[in-house]
Amino acid sequence: MVTIEQKLTLFSKLLHQDIKEETDRKFYELEKEYEKISAESRLCTDKEANELIEQAKRKAESKKIELISKGKLCSKKETMLTKEKVVERFIAALEERIKTFILTPDYKSYLTKVISGLGSLKGYANPLVIYVTEHDLETNQEFIKEALMKIGISSNKLSFKQVGEEILGGLIIEDPALNMRIDESILAMLEENKDSIVEKITLAIGEVGGKDE
């Protein structure tokens, strides 16, 4: 027969065992829950970290593109400035060569060719004013007058006036009565062909320096 004391002892053991089992189970559940939470936390952290990394990558790529764009823009600006400087220097050098050219016999051939293209003025009725540089007024006035007479303009319709050396050479013809003006100066010729000159210089620079991307 089991005594009360034995029953109490057995009950105590069973209770202790139940408590231990329950405690172990709880610990196991807590460990699993912790592992789950830890895994989710790591996953969340990894996602956040990856997102931060991706954001940093996107930002870096955006900055890279921005820097490349700025670099290209600066490069293009520098190229444009270089081209402008080259064009300016070329025009300046060309003007210096023209100043030498007008002192040569070839300049008279040039004047003859220019004036021969003014055949539409043949028999012109109104007085004409011929504007030339100081050099041409002193050196080539008679030559220009004779060339104009050869295309059919009466000498008594012609008068000469001096203009600034900025026209470089050639002549400007005006009819004050009709407000008519024909600009056959070398300066006008340069201005008319400036775009073509710039295009050729730009092409030459491009061939030497390479094409812009």
In this structure, the answer to whether residues 50 and 140 fall within a common structural domain is no
Q: What local confidence, expressed as pLDDT, does residue 196 receive?
A: 82
Please say which residue of 49, 80, 101 terminates a domain.
101
Is 210 contained in some domain? no
In this structure, the answer to whether residues 91 and 66 fall within a common structural domain is yes
Is 213 contained in some domain? no
In this structure, the answer to whether residues 71 and 165 fall within a common structural domain is no
Q: 130: which 2 tokens? A: 């011929």
List, in sequence order, every beta strand (DSSP E) within the chain: 128-132, 158-162, 170-175, 180-185
In this structure, the answer to whether residues 136 and 70 fall within a common structural domain is no
Q: State the residue range of the domain holding 136.
A: 105-194
Number of compact structural domains in the chain: 2
Distance of CA 145 to the CA centre of its chain: 48
Q: 46: which 2 tokens? A: 């990894």
Determine the Cα–Cα distance for residues 141 and 159; give it in Å rounded to an integer: 10
The DSSP call for residue 120 is G
In this structure, the answer to whether residues 178 and 142 fall within a common structural domain is yes
In this structure, the answer to whether residues 53 and 93 fall within a common structural domain is yes
Please say which residue of 101, 125, 155 terminates a domain.
101
In this structure, the answer to whether residues 122 and 52 fall within a common structural domain is no
In this structure, the answer to whether residues 28 and 94 fall within a common structural domain is yes
In this structure, the answer to whether residues 13 and 72 fall within a common structural domain is yes
Q: What local confidence, expressed as pLDDT, does residue 208 receive?
A: 52
Is 206 contained in some domain? no
Q: What local confidence, expressed as pLDDT, does residue 45 receive?
A: 47
Q: What local confidence, expressed as pLDDT, does residue 111 receive?
A: 93
In this structure, the answer to whether residues 64 and 144 fall within a common structural domain is no
Per-residue pLDDT of the chain (213 residues; tens, 9 = 90+): 445 455 445 545 544 555 555 555 655 665 565 455 555 545 544 555 556 556 655 665 665 566 556 555 556 666 666 667 777 788 788 888 888 999 999 999 999 999 999 999 998 999 999 999 999 999 999 999 999 999 999 999 999 999 988 899 999 999 999 999 999 999 998 888 878 877 877 777 665 555 444
Is 202 contained in some domain? no
Determine the Cα–Cα distance for residues 95 and 102; give it in Å rounded to an integer: 11
In this structure, the answer to whether residues 183 and 137 fall within a common structural domain is yes
